[in-house]
Amino acid sequence: MRILLIGLVVLSGVLFAFGTGLHPVFALTWLAPLPLLWAAARMSGRAAFAVSALVWTAGQAPLAGYFHGVLETPVPLVAAILAGPALVFGGLAAAHRRLALADRPLMAAGVFAAGWTTLEYVLSLALPHGAWWSLAYTQADVGPVVQTVSVTGIWGVTFLLTGVPAALATARPRAVGTAAVLLAAVLGFGTWRLATAPRPDGATMALLATEHPNDEIDMATSEGRALLAAYITRARTIDAAAIVLPEKNFVADDATLPLLTGPLTRLAAERRTVVVAGVTHRTGGTVRNAALVFTPDGGRPAEYAKHHLIPGLESDFTAGTRRVAVPGRPGWGVVICKDLDFPALVRAYRSDGAATLLAPAWDFHSDAWLHGRMALVRGVESGIGVVRNGRAGDLMISDPYGRIQAVRSTGRPGFVSVTGRAPGRPVGTLYGRFGDWFAWVCALFLLLAGAAGVPGAVTGRRGRPGSAAANPAGRIGSPL
């Protein structure tokens, strides 16, 4: 028995390692908690807590190098990012064990899923990275599943990913049956929504980028002016209503800014297109991560400043506070990279009437898939298209249903471009209207469960005589 339990625990750790992180295998995410929770019911409460915390830590350990080496997160904070959720995961696994042994399988699954969903939501509010940290993104390429976020936000997908295996781990027919019905309903809704979704019928959008050089280039230098000239030469070959360039492509202050704005203003007028260019703008003693928006009428460019800056890497920058729509195109909003990690900002643009977001971005190669899919999920949540230029990542255009219209990696010599259709109008979603209602339902459920004392779990009361809870070891081979 001990060897079996150890094997199941190790299996969960491996499944978490490959089912989460920067390049998750979506099917493994559904399976990861199952062996651990089944094994936890067959060990002491303290052992279940300790082993579960260790499994979560081991599964997330591959991200430590990304946090510290790429995002330059201090080591103590990296340790806290790994250890804090691990302790919560251990506590939820121990609660699941006690409720399962008390013959409360639905409550066990509900507490485990609602607890983890609530944790993700709280961290999205408390930490400066927004909704970056969530199991839900592992399903971004699974069309029927990702449609759930149009109703619940990412919180509903997280609930499913934790609740379904938690129900299966109890091996109780009513819990397994409930999970099966819920999953079938979700997949049915998602399949129907995709089958009835219209194709994008709006303007053609283009993304243009190069990684050579993969750096910020000052317009005061000959290299900066040469890079701008190369972009303009390539842009003249593109026929699109808007051309989006990457984040922080150029550096300019008030003296050198005309060297950038003059040629791009002429390009927009000549090609009768909108041009969005990322620039590090030094002005008035401040530095802004900005997107300059040039319109076909040749007028003064609008400027959007990035709202959500990367801690540490952008500590010298001043955050913006205004939302910006393309002049003459109120259905086109402008954001920059990390702004798409924050659902509330996207919902605000949707309330403004935006149908498409134009997003200069700059990734780190290793996080290209994850960060691009996070942007895709934001679009499904609020029912808008996302046109995201991820230098050192992916150029990607997605529609309000999460369907990728065009995608191409920038990791190749020279310039890379893609074109695709944007939606002509936004799509109404429940999440876009009511926001994080599902996360609040999960938090309320936990509060009510705690207030009720969760009989059999909080008190540690044994199951009824002759039940599986009274003899958990006897359930090892029990049929569903």
Mean pLDDT of 67-71: 85
CA 322 to chain centre: 23
Structure tokens that stand for 83 in this block = 């250890």
In the chain, where are the structural domains located?
2-196+436-475, 204-423
Distinct helix (H) and strand (E) counts, the chain: 17, 14
What is the CB neighbour count within 10 angstroms for residue 233?
11
Question: Rounded to the nearest 5°, which phi and psi values hold at 314?
Answer: -125, 35
What is the CB neighbour count within 10 angstroms for residue 477?
6
In 286-401, which ranges are continuous DSSP H helix? 343-352, 368-382
Nearest to 360 by CA among 417, 278, 287: 278
Top-tier CATH class for 204-423: alpha beta
Distance separating alpha carbons of residues 21 and 12, to the nearest angstrom:
15
| pLDDT value at residue 347 | 98
Q: What is the C-alpha end-to-end distance of the chain, expressed in Å? A: 21
Please tell me the pTM assigned to this model: 0.92
Reply yes or no on whether the pLDDT at 468 is more than 70. Answer: no
Q: ω into residue 173 within 30 of 0, thus cis? A: no
How many residues belong to the chain?
480
pLDDT, tens only, 274-306: 999 999 999 999 999 999 999 999 999 999 999
**Helix/strand/coil for 227:** helix
Task: Say which residues have a Cβ less than 8 Å from residue 111's Cβ, sequence separation at least 6.
Answer: 92, 95, 96, 99, 446, 449, 454, 457
Task: Say which residues have a Cβ less than 8 Å from residue 186's Cβ, sequence separation at least 6.
Answer: 144, 145, 148, 160
Compute CA distances 396 → 14, 307, 335, 384, whole Å: 31, 21, 15, 14
pLDDT, tens only, 222-251: 999 999 999 999 999 999 999 999 999 999
- Share the mean pLDDT of the chain: 92
Residue 11 near residue 356, CB atoms below 8 Å: no
| pLDDT value at residue 456 | 45
> Which of 109-123, 395-409, 455-469 is predicted least confidently?
455-469
Mean pLDDT of 421-445: 97
